[in-house]
Structure 1
Amino acid sequence: MKKLCFLVFVFSLLAAGSSRAQNIASYAADDLNKRTSGKDTIYIVNFWATWCIPCVKELPAFNKVQEAYKDRPVKVILVSFDFKEQYPDKLSAWVRKKQLKPEVAWFNETNPTLYIPKLAPEWEGGLPATILINNTTGERLVKAKEITFEELKTWIDKQL
């Protein structure tokens, strides 16, 4: 009986982990702008892809931010630019394997001429890129390069 209970417990943990990984939202630019419009939260929005080596290299920094500010009004959103064929199954499996803690979304727009002006006109569209948003002060900063935990922490601490 103890073995059966243990197996049910382990199975439920595995199922919960896999269901979490399957819940990757699909965002367009307008959806993302709405998602990051709260006045009481500082948003860190990172654009990345599994095939982008510098993107993958910087992902641990966002895990660290998520952990360091878990009790503060700071929200990290990792927006994947992976190919449509990878969404949601392959992307979910990859996110689960890499143990990404922040919210992950998949970007479903393909025309940069239309979506870049909506997100950050100063961004040229290269990956990785991070937009730091404080709607209370109106400050928005675009880092169109690899970013470190220390850079993120410095910016966040100035905002809090």
Structure 2
Amino acid sequence: MKRSVFILAILSFFAIQGSAQQIRAVTAADVMSRASSGDTVYIINFWATWCVPCVQELPEFNELFDRYKDKPVKIVMVSLDFKDSYPYKLDGFLRKKRVLPEVVWLMDTDPNVFIPKIEESWQGSIPATLVIQPGRYRKFIEGQVSAGQIIGLVDGISEH
């Protein structure tokens, strides 16, 4: 019996390890370039592991991921964690919290340069979320969001 439990534990460990995502380092220009397909709605969240409200809203993005996984909606979580957290601390955090959407790490370090590339009105606080469908819709929200709030925006876009 002990042997079976041990084997099951080892297999579970490797299953979890195998399902981890690759966290790519990107620039703000990369993020915005990626969100350029007019037939897709992009939900881009800017957050960090050290930001309490950011961590509190992570389950909301998992809910959005589940809701839109088979639709033309792409969720990208952009980590603003410090360089010493990339990639190992960030990776461990994502595994522990079981974050489902794609996560990338923003390697740009000067907010005076990267913020205007994302949103001119952004004051720099996080969490912050951009909902965009290029050529049709753009909404930037500073502060925590709920899944319901984002669902209302995304579903509203597709109704028009």
Could you tell me which of 128, 134, 144 is aligned with 1:146?
144
How many Å separate the matches in 2 of 1:17 and 1:83?
25
TM-score of the aligned structures, taking structure 1 as reference length: 0.88
- In the alignment, structure 2 segments of 5+ residues that lack a partner are none
Quote the offset at 1:17 in angstroms.
3.3
| Equivalent residues of 2:21, 2:102 under 8 A apart | no
Give the conservation status (yes or no) of the 8 Å contact 1:22–1:89: no
Cα pair 1:81 1:106 within 8 Å, conserved: yes
Distance 1:14 1:25 in 2: 23
Unaligned runs of 5+ in 1: none
Query: In the alignment, is the contact (CA less than 8 A) between 2:47 and 2:77 conserved in 1?
Result: yes
Deviates more, 1:30-39 or 1:83-92: 30-39
What is the aligned partner in structure 1 of residue 82 from structure 2? 83
Deviation at 1:35, TM superposition (A): 1.4
TM-score, normalised with respect to structure 2? 0.88
Is 20-29 or 125-134 further displaced after alignment? 20-29
Provide runs of 4+ in structure 1 moved above 4 Å.
9-13
Counterparts of residues 56-71 of structure 1 (less than 5 Å): 56-71=55-70
State the alpha-carbon separation in 1 of the partners of residues 21 and 109 from structure 2.
Answer: 22
1:155 counterpart residue number: 153
Amino acid at match of 1:17: I
Report how many aligned residue pairs link the two structures: 155
Which AA in structure 2 matches 1:114?
A: V
Tell me the equivalent position of 1:95: 94
Task: Give me the whole-angstrom Cα distance separating, in 1, the residues matched to 2:88 and 2:21.
Answer: 7
Equivalent in the alignment of 1:27: 26
Aligned to 1:106: 105
Q: Which amino acid aligns with 1:142?
A: F
CA distance in 1, matches of 2:18, 2:86: 14
Larger deviation: 128-137 or 41-50? 128-137
Using a 3 Å threshold, how does the CA distance of structure 1 residues 68 and 117 change in structure 2: closer, same or farther? same
Instruction: Provide the residue aligned with 1:73 in structure 2.
Output: 72
**Secondary structure of the corresponding residue to residue 99 of structure 2:** coil
Q: CA deviation at 1:40?
A: 1.6
Greater Cα offset, 52-61 or 12-21:
12-21
What is the root-mean-square deviation of aligned Cα atoms in Å? 2.0
1:21 CA drift (Å) = 3.0
- The one-letter code sitting in structure 1 at the alignment partner of 2:69 is K
CA-CA distance at 1:11 after TM superposition: 5.2
